[in-house]
Amino acid sequence: MSGARLGAGVLGLLGLAWAASALSTYDVVADVHPALASRGPSLSHLLGTDHLGRDVLCRLWLGVRAFVGPGLIAGAVAGGLSALLGGLGALRPGALRAAVRALLTVVASVPRFALVLLIASIFGDEPAILAAAAGLAYLPALVEDIFARVAELEGADFVEAARAHGVPAFRVVAVHLLWVGCRHLILRHLLQLFAFVVVLEASLSFIGGFGVEEPTPSWGNMIAFELSAREGNLWAWLAPALCIQLAVVGTLLAAEGVRDGG
Amino acid sequence: MADELVVEGLVVEAAGRRIVDGVSYTLVAGQILALVGASGSGKTQCARAPLGLIRAQPGVVAGEIRARVGEQTFGPFGPARPPLPLRGAVAAYLHQDGRAALDPLVTVEGQLRRVLALPGANAQAPAEILRRAGFSSPQTALSLFPCELSGGMAQRVGVALTLARNSRFLLADEPTTGLDPTVQQVVVEGLAALARSGVGVLFITHDLRLAARFADSLLILDEGRVVERLDPRSLAEAQSVAGRRLVESLIALDGRSL
Amino acid sequence: MAATVAGATVLLHGLFWLAPGDPIDLLPNGPELRPVLEAEWGLDQPVGVRILRTLGAVAQGDLGYSLIVKPGADVANLAAKAWGKTLTLALPALALCVGLALLLAWRQDRPRLARLVMVSSATPGFLLAAALITLLNEGAFAGMEAGHWDRPGWFALPDQPSALRTALAIGVLGLSGGLLSEARTEAAGLLESLRGSAFIEAIAARGGSTLGPLLHNLLPPLLGLLSGRLVLVLGGALIVEKVLFIQGAGTLFWEAAMNRDHPLAIGLGIAAAALVASGQALCSLGRAALDPRLRRSGP
């Protein structure tokens, strides 16, 4: 199976899980059964139970909510802002593009995790804010690529043709340069951003303090919770760990598979 | 007997197509052999084959390459046995793009010394070698980097590196293409000087006039085959279609008779 | 570089000043400190003036004072020490990553190896670090229970420095988070274009050794590779230090962020930007020293 297909499959699975989880009636607080603690896999609990007797598979499935929403928000922020900045840079190259570049260089010189944490500590640690911060942190690389591609396309035949036909500059930029020319590379970056958000969310929930807190399930805090005790169901932490790895690898493979068509 | 490099029945294939289809030529030390043809006639591969530089797959599928220098014979080499022992000691290759063929991070002097350190190389000083290659102020040229050289100077450095290597034969792959006519003159004069000092030169070009002025003998190449052997002094006697086409384009260009 | 630091100062302080609400109220012990902070931060003045004052202070190396984590301590001092400690992890990790990437890329393109590297290096830093430390702990406990050893020297408590944990940190930093895979891909691309270049072919055609010139010509782009990875490694350190209990800028940053000690957090961020910018400047200088094409002004 080709890497891109595997990646697309993983993304599809994540999407399904996320959509289905909206229908769940799982009560995170009430589902505690000490008597069933740390059982191994069985017919009623396919991956066993964790320390508090909660079904691992169920929490795994619900844990998807922790990063898919933020991932989409981050993508929207990064995609929207990059299109805006890229378009501005294309319309008015020269001083404006240089100014945008300078700003982006500054943003790029602060490590992404640090920027996200800083924004979270100042503006609050809601998932939406973390997501927006992640999108912002990803902006420099994306916009630089857009600028480079737009510069390449300036002399392309179809752009010249559009201009010769009198298509207004704004439309040329939006449709011809950004949409036709850049949409694949934007998608690729957004997928990489999604993988980053998965890792970000898992890391923050694992370490604690920012990110999803118990008892709401997140793959990161599931691992932290189970690792802190010595004996227990192996799958209670191995399953989320494998899921994180699979989600990241799948998303990156899908990103690799976004080839520039035409 | 004079030293010679013989290529016999060379066949080069790439992606199912025969680029070179049975070409034979002999380089004689001290003489210039010109191989003239239009683009796509396979002339570059003819120059790259004797040193095993062909990158296409499957590459050389038939033909024999051998050489004699002094008492030593090399070869025969063929598809099963690449002619790697000919590299440097027997033959050298001059790239079309002189500057790209030089290490961008090292000065001219550094590159000369690197070659002079190889076994069997020349014993002369770098400045002297540059002078022989046609540089009028060798000392200045020694400290230059390739990015500071003009196209013509870069080609002359390439000639100098061949001198330094003491190769018996030089396979020059369109060394004048893309250069100004005056610069072309200088480069070819450098090759002529090489020939006078005993090096056998293969001069690949699509410029018939240049070839005719400097070469001792001339082969016309068309679609991978040698279609004619011409005497440079009597180009008008060309018989082959390709040969006539090249001669006619020359006359059309400047209206003189040959 | 000064421009980047100035820019970072403006950006990070700007974020702080522009946050909704009174910045002093955001601090846990805000009301007590209000009089002091109002004077020091000049809150009665417009944002623009405040930023200029801050720029002036930063230019003199003054990054303010920590409010909660180490009250009264000079942030610039703390930041310098903390990042210094982190650099002792980050720089070896960077070298490990790029060195290994080069080794892996040396052989001609092997798609299966590339795939394997990509999958394994995509492991998030925290996951790899947590897995390793758990393995170590389990091994130590098992050994102790079985009576093999009392408490082995390398099983140090979290608040004590440990050579083993430092080594683990360097390994995890260099090999996780996708760094190795990206570096390998870039290195492979570099090698391929160099190997196919005319001058390498010319050297081979003369019967000379291509290894030296190849490595020499790899150095400038390698410096570029290093300079690009620096900010990623520093970011990774943020996570890895916390998971492996190493006292560096990473753990300090977490403490500052968790406790809302904004001057400290912002100060650490500015220091990071300064580090990244100087790293890039150094690499640029190195490249220009090696490559005459970069020294020429003009085409």
Helix (H, G, I), strand (E, B) or coil at A259: coil
Which of C197, C206, C291 faces B88 most closely, judged by CB atoms?
C206
For residue B23, the surrounding DSSP H or E stretch is: strand B17-28
Residues 126-145 of C with CB under 8 A from A: 126-127, 130-131, 134, 138, 141
Q: Is the peptide bond before A93 cis (omega within 30 degrees of 0)?
A: no
Length of chain B: 258
Residue A220 contacts by C-beta under 8 Å, 6 or more apart in sequence?
A66, A201, A202, A203, A204, A205, A206, A207, A211, A212, A240, A244, C126
pLDDT in tens, C69-88: 777 778 888 888 899 999 99
DSSP secondary structure letters along C180-219: HHHHHHHHHHHHHHHHTSHHHHHHHHTT--SHHHHHHHHH
Which of C204, C208, C293 faces B104 most closely, judged by CB atoms?
C293
B98 or A34: whose pLDDT is higher?
B98
| A44 at interface of C, judged by CB pairs closer than 8 A | no
Tell me how far apart the alpha carbons of residues B190 and B194 are, in angstroms, rounded to a whole number.
6
DSSP secondary structure letters along C110-154: -HHHHHHHHHHHTS-HHHHHHHHHHHHHHHHHHHHHTTS-SS-TT
Burial B204-218 (b: 16+ CB within 10 A, else e): bbbbbebbbebbbbb
| Assembly ipTM | 0.87
Are A107 and C12 in contact by the 8 Å Cβ rule? The answer is no
Tell me how far apart the alpha carbons of residues C54 and C8 are, in angstroms, rounded to a whole number.
11
Q: Is the peptide bond before A215 cis (omega within 30 degrees of 0)?
A: yes
Residues 150-189 of C with CB under 8 A from B: none
Q: What is the mean pLDDT of residues A71-79?
A: 93
Q: Do B and A count as touching (3 or more CB pairs closer than 8 A)? A: no
- The predicted pLDDT at position A261 comes to 46
Are B19 and B224 in contact by the 8 Å Cβ rule? The answer is yes
- The predicted pLDDT at position C42 comes to 65
pLDDT band at B255 (very low <50, low <70, confident <90, very high): low
Are C82 and A208 in contact by the 8 Å Cβ rule? The answer is no
Query: Alpha helix (H) ranges present in chain A?
Result: 3-21, 56-62, 65-91, 95-108, 112-123, 127-153, 157-164, 169-171, 182-207, 219-227, 234-257
| A17 at interface of C, judged by CB pairs closer than 8 A | no
Identify the bridge partners of residue B17 per DSSP, sorted by sequence position: B14
Contacts of B145 in chain C (CB under 8 A): 292-293
CB atoms within 10 A of CB B119: 7
The answer to whether C296 contacts B147, with C-beta atoms less than 8 Å apart, is: yes
Question: Which residue is closest to C264 within chain A, CA to CA?
Answer: A118
Contacts of C262 in chain A (CB under 8 A): 121-122
Are A192 and A141 in contact by the 8 Å Cβ rule? The answer is no
Are B168 and B88 in contact by the 8 Å Cβ rule? The answer is no
Residue B181 contacts by C-beta under 8 Å, 6 or more apart in sequence?
none
pLDDT band at A237 (very low <50, low <70, confident <90, very high): confident
Average pLDDT of chain A, as a whole number: 83
Q: What is the mean pLDDT of residues A225-250?
A: 83
Length of chain A: 262
Contacts of C93 in chain A (CB under 8 A): none
Contacts of A99 in chain C (CB under 8 A): none
Strands B200-205 and B217-222: unpaired
Q: What is the mean pLDDT of residues C154-159?
A: 60
Burial C57-96 (b: 16+ CB within 10 A, else e): ebeeeebbbbbbbbeeebbbebbbebbebbbebbebbbeb
Q: What is the mean pLDDT of residues B159-178?
A: 89
CB atoms within 10 A of CB B168: 23
Identify the bridge partners of residue B72 per DSSP, sorted by sequence position: B69
CB atoms within 10 A of CB A121: 24
- The answer on pLDDT for A158 being more than 80 is no
CB atoms within 10 A of CB C106: 11
- The predicted pLDDT at position B190 comes to 86
Burial B9-40 (b: 16+ CB within 10 A, else e): ebbbbbeeebbbbebebebbbbbbbbbbbeee
Which region among B32-41, C39-48, C120-129, C183-192 has the lowest average model confidence (pLDDT)?
C39-48
- The predicted pLDDT at position C96 comes to 92
Are B202 and B25 in contact by the 8 Å Cβ rule? The answer is yes
* Å between B103 CA and nearest CA of chain C: 6
Q: Which residue has the tokens 């390498």?
A: C200
* Å between C240 CA and nearest CA of chain A: 10
- The predicted pLDDT at position A77 comes to 93
| A244 at interface of C, judged by CB pairs closer than 8 A | yes
In angstroms, the Cα distances linking B69 to B28, B33, B49, B93, B195 are 10, 18, 19, 17, 15
Contacts of B143 in chain C (CB under 8 A): none
Contacts of C122 in chain A (CB under 8 A): 195, 245, 248-249, 252
Length of chain C: 299
* Å between C224 CA and nearest CA of chain A: 15
- The predicted pLDDT at position C232 comes to 92
* Å between A121 CA and nearest CA of chain C: 5
First to last CA, chain B: 34
- The predicted pLDDT at position A262 comes to 31
